[in-house]
Structure 1
Amino acid sequence: MAAPGRSSRGDVRSFIKWAGGKTRYAAQLVAAAPPFTGRYWEPFMGSAAVFFELSPAKAVLSDANPELVACFQAVAAQPEAVMARLDAMANTPENFALVRRQNPAELDAVERAARVIYLNKTAFRGLWRVNRRGLFNTPYGAYDRPYYRRETLLEASRALAEVDVRLCDFADALREAEAGDWVFLDPPYLPEGGFADFKRYTSGQFRNDDHERLAAAMHAASARGVLLTMTNSDTDATRAIYAGFRTTRMATRRDINLRAAARASFDLVLTNY
């Protein structure tokens, strides 16, 4: 029998990887999840690794990145069409440059989703990075690997079938969450230096005042009985901005860091339970 708040879908994984995503730690985070009776929320969706690990019965996934949201929506609705489109996309520097220049507004839903997955699998380290005009600018990664695994994408599509996937600001999600819901938050981290400072996966940046805004929204949701978990960098600034929440440290790796010695680190896990 599934645990409270969870379905019985079994082992499901994300079909993409995302810089800062929690694929490696999803099982650990789910194991430490609070008992909850309402909906599961993930306002910084990314690869939605914790969602797929948890397999909640009711969920709302959201993000401020319109391409990511459009991709998840299309995978949920038209997985076969997305895979067929990917099969027609060559993994070459020339085609990568062509796809990177495409205007998503000129693509249909399937083409738009395939573009996200293709760039995620072929760009350098899978990094989704855009400039201030919203144009994707990560270089080609020259990786010889499949764009997708059929069963993984189909299982993900089934898991997403009844999920509310939205384009919205985190504050809107936190404002709507109710007592008994569990919200897992994995925002762009407060700066530690180097690659850890990356935060441009939309045309705007996630700045310190956004963290202040997030902390205020979390406190307001907590006062209503919403259960909260957030991961962030282990810094004095994080502890100061998010004062009032319980903190524990989680050993992690920074695979996006080019220096192997700099990859080992710790994250903070902040909760109100």
Structure 2
Amino acid sequence: MEENKIKPVVKWAGGKGQMLKYITPRLPEKYNKYIEPFVGGGALFFSEMPQNAIISDSNEELINLYKIIADDVDGLIDTLKDYHYDKEQYYSVRSKNPSELSPTVRAARMLYLNKTGFNGLYRVNQRGEFNVPFGKYTNPKIIDEDNLRKASDLLKKTLIMSGDYLDVLHEYAKPGDFIFLDPPYMPVSKYSDFKRYTKVQFGEQDQIKLAEEVDRLYSMGCNVMLTNSNHPFITELYKKYDIQVFDTKRLINSKSDRRNGQDIIVTAYPKLSGFVKPSEIPTQNEKYPSSRYMGSKTKLLPYIDTVVENLDYNSVLDLFSGSGTVSYFFKTLGKQVFSNDYMKFASNFSKATVENNDTRLTDADLNLLLDENIEINDLFVSDNFKGLYFSDDDNRFLDLIRTNENKILNPVKKSIIDAAISRACMKRRPRGIFTYTGNKYDDGRKDLTLSLKEHFIKAVNQFNDAVFDNGCVNVTFNENFLDVECDADLVYLDPPYYSPLSDNEYVRRYHFVEGLAKNWENVQMQWNTKTKKFKNYPTPFSSKEGTYAAFEQLFEKYSRKIVIVSYSSNSLPTKAEMTDMMRKYFSDVKTYEIDYKYSFGNQHKNKSNNKVKEYLFVGL
């Protein structure tokens, strides 16, 4: 690996070679583009060898050199062979006007002066003329052909430009990028003179402007690292960020007793473990039938995709699958998926789309289900839910499907039927829930004008269209989360959110479609209630104490797995509590934050409560 290392091609005042041992461990674990707008000698750039990078500098001679190394390294090497460590030649080359030279000769001049001038210093006067005296060396190496060629390979892949750092950052910096800023340092004494890299000076107002740009980059989600001198003025500018101080040597200073100093490294990374920006997810996800399911994570899928992108796993357990969108998403990624939900109707969503790789309802199946030329022996819905949720015709249609479904023997086809009828009921119902009777929340949606039969046919077609084979044996469970036993690499947890502001009881909201899926068997009906619901299933997430205990159980059980928890900022445990809890079981815990707006399902009277932060906790 050592033979592939690239050394900086120039010496540079304030070069970061000696600080790499401090900088490298502090780099973000993951980033998109690498941007260094004060590239100078590029010690970090050449050390990291980023494959997607932008480098720039206001020094036109330096940037021309990098461009020629990228585009004409052979010509540069041939030209350099005419240069020697000679005082007379040095001053002759120095006297030439670079603007009158070809780009390649100009680059050779720049490199020659850098290798043979005093201490490798680059300094210009007010007229922009290079004025560094001849340096005293013992046979300096002017041409390092091997290193130049390796640098050329890297620079060919890099966008190289000359210009003001602000212009570069405003045009190219995007969320998730890594920005390394190594500006001219704030002088710490009257002897300091690191700022004359160009004829333009970099004073206090420039440092303030740079700090403002760091704030802008940080706020947009960039990972920013900055180096500077340990000066009170600078530390005050960046006091809101993490600042580390390190002893360094000022190798450029002619007075050896003044070469010792202190540098700072400022890291302005997003406050959480990583910045989450949405990724482009497989288009197959667009085929998943939407539902009005409370807490559905459809909108979070692009963010989940970003979080799992670099994780090493082949199988997933979605322990609280709900609407099934997350299970289906992992299926589209080619993972083996184990999907569980304690609600029967919810597990049917996953069985029809995740476990099912190739089965669809045929036209003959649909005709059989819609056949009205039969005697309906069981009018449970029509008799018991008259006038509560649907019209008499819609209730009769439900009893028709319940009767005719018995003629379909294939269990996977049955899951499609059950999933389609549940979705039809939820789409036909204002707000998609069954906590009230009548149609008082009719918002004029087209869905509310369609009959259940029309909804059902539409849903069947959509579930059929969502079926695909990802090459894995996927499995669906309908069990209590504590009873599920399977060996998956990654466990995704999206349990009911406990909040003192609202209840999280899914049975109360979806008792009708759950009863329909179970044919109202093995449930304790509460006929005295207005909504004719049945008794809630027992769940630890209905109380604060139970919620905390359940998370402890889950983290202990899956401590050897990758665990991702989806949770909300208006729920308990809090972000800090969840992180502390996970750290007891996982060696590395990361937290990602997403602005999120929940739908009606959470039933907060204060609508502002529905706009919250969604957290993704990752335990490794």
Instruction: Report the TM-score, using the length of structure 1 for normalisation.
Output: 0.93
Runs of 4+ in 1 over 3 A off after TM superposition: none
Aligned partners of 1:132 and 1:257: how far apart in 2? 21
- The amino acid of 1:161's aligned partner reads K
| 2:221 is the counterpart of 1:225 | yes
Residue in structure 2 matched with residue 56 of structure 1 by the alignment: 50
What are structure 2's unaligned runs of at least 5 residues?
Answer: 270-620
Instruction: Return the match for 1:65 from 59, 63, 67.
Output: 59
Instruction: Return the match for 1:101 from 53, 72, 95.
Output: 95
- The amino acid of 2:108's aligned partner reads A
**Between 225-234 and 91-100, the greater mean CA deviation after superposition:** 91-100
Aligned partners of 2:239 and 2:143: how far apart in 1? 41
Structure with higher RCO (Cα < 8 A, 6+ apart): 1
Give 3-state SS (helix, strand or coil) of 1:197's partner. Answer: coil
- The amino acid of 1:101's aligned partner reads S
Aligned partners of 2:57 and 2:252: how far apart in 1? 21
Residue in structure 1 matched with residue 160 of structure 2 by the alignment: 165
- The amino acid of 1:212's aligned partner reads I
Is this contact kept in 1: 2:51–2:154, CA < 8 A? no
Residue in structure 2 matched with residue 197 of structure 1 by the alignment: 193
Whichever of the two has the greater Rg, that structure is: 2
Instruction: Return the match for 2:235 from 208, 216, 239.
Output: 239
Give 3-state SS (helix, strand or coil) of 1:268's partner. Answer: strand
Shift of 1:122: 0.9
Residue in structure 2 matched with residue 76 of structure 1 by the alignment: 70
Instruction: Return the match for 2:141 from 142, 146, 163.
Output: 146
| 2:33 is the counterpart of 1:36 | no
Aligned partners of 1:58 and 1:41: how far apart in 2? 9
- The amino acid of 1:96's aligned partner reads Y
What are structure 1's unaligned runs of at least 5 residues?
Answer: 1-8
Instruction: Report the TM-score, using the length of structure 2 for normalisation.
Output: 0.42
Quote the sequence identity (%).
Answer: 35
- The amino acid of 2:124's aligned partner reads V
Is this contact kept in 2: 1:120–1:127, CA < 8 A? yes
Shift of 1:64: 0.3
Coordinate RMSD, CA, aligned? 1.8
Is this contact kept in 2: 1:185–1:229, CA < 8 A? yes
Give 3-state SS (helix, strand or coil) of 1:25's partner. Answer: helix
Q: Deviations over 1:68-116 (max 9, x none)?
A: 0000000111111111111101322211111111111111111011011
Shift of 1:195: 4.1
Aligned partners of 1:133 and 1:114: how far apart in 2? 22
Give 3-state SS (helix, strand or coil) of 1:240's partner. Answer: helix
Instruction: Return the match for 2:247 from 248, 251, 260.
Output: 251
Is this contact kept in 2: 1:96–1:119, CA < 8 A? yes
Shift of 1:265: 2.1
**Between 246-255 and 113-122, the greater mean CA deviation after superposition:** 246-255
Aligned residues: 267
Give 3-state SS (helix, strand or coil) of 1:213's partner. Answer: helix
| 2:103 is the counterpart of 1:119 | no
Is this contact kept in 2: 1:233–1:267, CA < 8 A? yes
Is this contact kept in 2: 1:59–1:163, CA < 8 A? yes
Aligned partners of 1:27 and 1:116: how far apart in 2? 29
Is this contact kept in 1: 2:7–2:46, CA < 8 A? yes
Shift of 1:31: 2.3
Shift of 1:159: 1.1
